[in-house]
């Protein structure tokens, strides 16, 4: 870590009691540059401001926690999940509950996308299968928003017309997910960097068949990414799948996973 970043990390820790040392230094620097730019000050003036303003420190910490998500975010990944991976799970796990963990679920778009795929496949195949999705995050406001499941048009831009018609009710340009799909997902708080718990307590035991841990690894330092992926690995049932973000494929490869379908960001251990 360069000394500039180290000073900022200590400033936030000593001055405000917040630990931002897990974040990737280049990501922290990008966020600082963008905060300084939005306030029209140079970096050194921004650091002075940071020393004297708890409010700015809170805003910086908030900016480090990126919550952006949309339904069916990475089209190729979801296509492979829809046509290959979830049909395979339905066949191979017939007769027992399929267990899914969305490990950084933000406001619910990701676990609900998975629930929609399961629902369609189970209906078309008239399969007997059951599934349950545990969805966790560290952001409590996002978890509350996920439970409400009301979305803007931009969150559903990758959702087909047919799916919008089948799975949402629309009022005043707000899209509310139908209760039948909501009922398959349990939301709870879980910190992937927590040194104690290896899997969310809501899941009782790990043993997941599918884990989605996407678009958060690249915000963290290399050793933290590896720690998160080790934790995730320990919660995977034999034959389970891991999904990362498209830009995070290297993190999974470096942690010893192999890509199940080339370029899909879907892995096995």
Strands 98-102 and 131-137, sheet pairing: parallel
For residue 211, list its beta bridge partners: 101, 242
Of 7-15, 122-130, 137-145, 149-157, the segment contacting ligand SAM by CB under 6 A is 137-145
The contact pattern for ligand SAM, residues 73-92, with x = CB under 6 A and - = no contact, is x-------------------
Kindly report the number of other CB atoms within 10 A of residue 267's CB atom.
26
Of 76-84, 91-99, 103-111, 151-159, the segment contacting ligand SAM by CB under 6 A is 103-111
Interface residue with ligand SAM, options 138, 202, 226, 237 (CB under 6 A): 138
Helix, strand or coil, per DSSP, at residue 175 = strand
Q: Is 214 in the site for ligand SAM (CB under 6 A)?
A: yes
Strands 266-268 and 258-259, sheet pairing: antiparallel
Helix, strand or coil, per DSSP, at residue 185 = strand
The rounded distance, in Å, linking the Cα atoms of 204 and 50 is 42
Q: Is 230 in the site for ligand SAM (CB under 6 A)?
A: no
* Residues touching ligand SAM, count (CB under 6 A): 20
Of 53-61, 176-184, 190-198, 203-211, the segment contacting ligand SAM by CB under 6 A is 190-198
Pick between residue 24 and residue 110 the one whose CB is nearest to ligand SAM. 110
Helix, strand or coil, per DSSP, at residue 5 = helix
Q: Is 67 in the site for ligand SAM (CB under 6 A)?
A: yes
Helix, strand or coil, per DSSP, at residue 73 = coil
The rounded distance, in Å, linking the Cα atoms of 125 and 255 is 36
Question: Which residues contact ligand SAM by CB under 6 A?
Answer: 65-69, 73, 104, 106, 110, 137-139, 142, 191-193, 214-216, 245
């Amino acid at each position: 870590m360069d000394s500039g970043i180290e000073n900022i990390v200590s400033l936030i820790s000593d001055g405000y009691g917040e630990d931002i040392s897990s974040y990737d230094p280049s990501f922290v620097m990008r966020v600082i540059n963008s905060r300084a730019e939005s306030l029209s000050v140079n970096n050194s003036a921004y650091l002075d401001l940071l020393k004297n303003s708890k409010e700015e420190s809170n805003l910086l910490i908030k900016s480090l926690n990126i919550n952006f998500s949309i339904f069916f975010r990475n089209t190729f990944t979801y296509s492979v999940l829809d046509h290959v991976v979830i049909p395979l799970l339905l066949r191979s796990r017939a007769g027992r509950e399929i267990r899914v963990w969305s490990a950084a679920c933000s406001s619910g778009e990701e676990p609900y996308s998975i629930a929609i795929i399961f629902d369609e496949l189970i209906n078309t195949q008239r399969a007997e299968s059951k599934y349950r999705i545990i969805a966790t995050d560290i952001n409590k406001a996002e978890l509350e928003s996920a439970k409400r499941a009301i979305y803007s048009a931009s969150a559903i831009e990758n959702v087909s017309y047919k799916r919008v018609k089948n799975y949402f009710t629309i009022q005043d340009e707000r899209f509310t997910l139908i209760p039948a799909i909501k009922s398959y997902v349990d939301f709870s708080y879980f910190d992937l960097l927590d040194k104690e718990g290896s899997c969310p307590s809501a899941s009782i035991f790990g043993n997941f068949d599918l884990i989605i841990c996407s678009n958060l690894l690249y915000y963290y330092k290399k050793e933290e990414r590896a720690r998160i992926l080790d934790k995730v690995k320990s919660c995977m049932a034999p034959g389970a799948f891991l999904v990362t973000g498209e830009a995070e494929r290297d993190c999974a490869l470096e942690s010893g996973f192999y890509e199940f379908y080339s370029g899909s960001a879907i892995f096995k251990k």
